[in-house]
Amino acid sequence: MPLPDTMFCAQQIHIPPELPDILKQFTKAAIRTQPADVLQWSAGYFSALSRGDPLPVKDRIEMPMATQKTDTGLTQGLLKVLHKQCSHKEYVELADLEQKWKNLCLPIEKFKVLLQLDPCENKIEWIKFLALGCSMLGGSLNTAMKHLCEILTSDPEGGPARIPFEIFSYVYRYLSGLDKEIPASDTESYLSSLKDKVDSRKNGMVGLSDFFTLKKKI
């Protein structure tokens, strides 16, 4: 038996008052983030929104890097999104991190390659994962630390990108320790001289201008 035609009028259709703003913010977020797979990213966006978690949204549109081979490659902006989502925990579960990675439409192969740099079991210290991501972005220790400072800093964009020396030195030791070609004595000598420079300023902060002369590869 065919269903009867149903007539609706405007008075019968209820539109939640918050819907227009939700859709407006979603559209702005999609434009800024430029996800490679809109459906995959949208699922992660609304899932995070429903839980009140940080959203997988870039601060601004990123121009494609000249060396970037695919539109789904890791970028500083995407690492910064992951940092907003994960930095509230000292350690993150790999399963949760992998899902956030997928929600940003990043290839899972790159995630696995990154973890192979320092294999772990079920969880990883977040600052170490961020450091590995920064090293994947740049071909040198200098470039990796530059990305790290720009992601972690509270300074305005284009500023000195300062971060605490304790964080800088921890990550620097970690990344340089993964490169067997960098003697530990060189690492400690550099950090010692940098600490003297930081102590003279009495603010405990390291900025981009402090390490532009680094040449070692990571």
Q: What was the pLDDT predicted at 113?
A: 93
Q: Which domains does the chain have, with CATH numbers?
A: 16-56+70-124 (no CATH), 137-217 (1.10.238)
| Whole-number Å distance between alpha carbons of 176 and 194 | 15
Tokens of 111: 């995630």
Q: Which tokens sit at 207?
A: 């900025």
Identify the segments of the chain with pLDDT beneath 70: 1-11, 64-72, 211-218
Per the CB < 8 A criterion, the answer to whether 104 and 54 are in contact is no
Q: What is the pLDDT of residue 208?
A: 87
The values of phi and psi at residue 163, to 5°, are: -140, 160
Phi, psi of 148 (to 5 degrees): -60, -50
pLDDT of residue 183: 94
Distance of CA 148 to the CA centre of its chain: 9
- Which pLDDT belongs to residue 32? 94
pTM of the model as a whole: 0.84
pLDDT at residue 11, rounded to an integer: 62
C-alpha dihedral over 124, 57, 107, 171, to 10 degrees? -40
Residue 122's pLDDT is: 94
- CA distances to 55, 197, 210 from 49, rounded to whole Å, are 7, 44, 39
